[in-house]
Amino acid sequence: MSMVTLNGNTYKRFKNMRTNTWVVTFLIVFFLCSAISPILRAQEELSAIVKKTAPSTGKEKTFAEWKMSSTAEQQTPDKGKEIFNKMVDAIGGRAAIMAVKNKVYSADVTLATAQGEQELAIVATIEYPDKVHMKISIQGETMERVVSGLQGKVTISGASEAMQSPEVQEMRSNFLRDVVWLVQNADSLQMQFIEEVIIATVKVAKISLTAQDGRMVVIAVDTKTNLPNRFIYQVRSQEPPVLEENILGDFRSVGDILFPYRQFITNGGKVIQESRIKEININQTVNPDLFIIK
């Protein structure tokens, strides 16, 4: 599964290069998109889910509180690794996931923006461990975003501009919400158990995964199915940084691996996006020119 996103800076760039009125100021991820008033319907569907019950401390922990927790259970990585490994097995197993070299997916996406709901079509190609090519179509315009290592570019109707470092880092942070990448880089991640909590009627175990550069994501794992229920992460492109949640569902098999075909994105308890995956393929023959940064 992958959480490839676009940030507000990219939309501002698109607006400057091609004068459009549909610029939005938050992330685009992929997964479920409904045909009739999807954002409003999603808000109704998720009204119970996004209202979490309070953990034992009486309030929802922040990223800083999670990092600074001093309980013995959280200080040891053993429980965090145990939960992570159960999730990996439920998704398809380490061997199958380690064999994934690339992933290509297409999706329809609906966003709730200040200008109303916006419909997009996305085709994304991910070459592990650090290459992404995204083609986004909206209102007759096409944008391509490419990240290769620490470099990136944005192309709109043939005109290209280099991504600034914050944009590249924001896009690279999507790998922390990609289970394939997480499994393939597990040895370099610090894992820590946070807490068990009930979200709506689902009991989840929260674990944090921190990369060597300090980037962090929290995964809420369903304790019954061991499948990931949601990713929780900071959006650093917003000031001050805010927490968003990627709520996962509709897992389907692609080869030996389960991928979520349904996802809601929430910010402050409100659904800001839902998407529908049309197709996912792994280990395809990919044109290396897609990732050239000129």
Residue at 2 is within a domain:
no
- Which residues, at least 6 apart from 71, have a Cβ–Cβ distance to it below 8 Å? none
At 84-139, the pLDDT tens digits run 999 999 999 999 999 999 999 999 998 888 888 888 999 999 999 999 999 999 88
Residue at 63 is within a domain:
yes
Residue at 1 is within a domain:
no
Domain span at 262: 8-291
Residue at 151 is within a domain:
yes
Residue at 12 is within a domain:
yes
Query: In the prediction, which pLDDT does 21 show?
Result: 28
Q: Is the pTM of this model over 0.85?
A: no
pLDDT band of 238, cuts 50, 70, 90: low
Query: In the prediction, which pLDDT does 115 show?
Result: 81
Query: In the prediction, which pLDDT does 234 show?
Result: 82
Number of domains composing the chain = 1
Using CA atoms, how far residue 200 sits from 32, 197, 288, in Å, is 20, 10, 44
pLDDT band of 16, cuts 50, 70, 90: low
Residue at 112 is within a domain:
yes
* Residue 57: pLDDT over 70: no
DSSP result, 179-237: HHHHHHTGGG-EEEEEEEEEETTEEEEEEEEE-TTS-EEEEEEETTT--EEEEEEEETT
Query: In the prediction, which pLDDT does 67 show?
Result: 52
**Residue 42 sits in a domain of what CATH number?**
2.50.20.10
Place of tokens 């990609």: 178
Report, as an integer, the average pLDDT of 253-278: 90
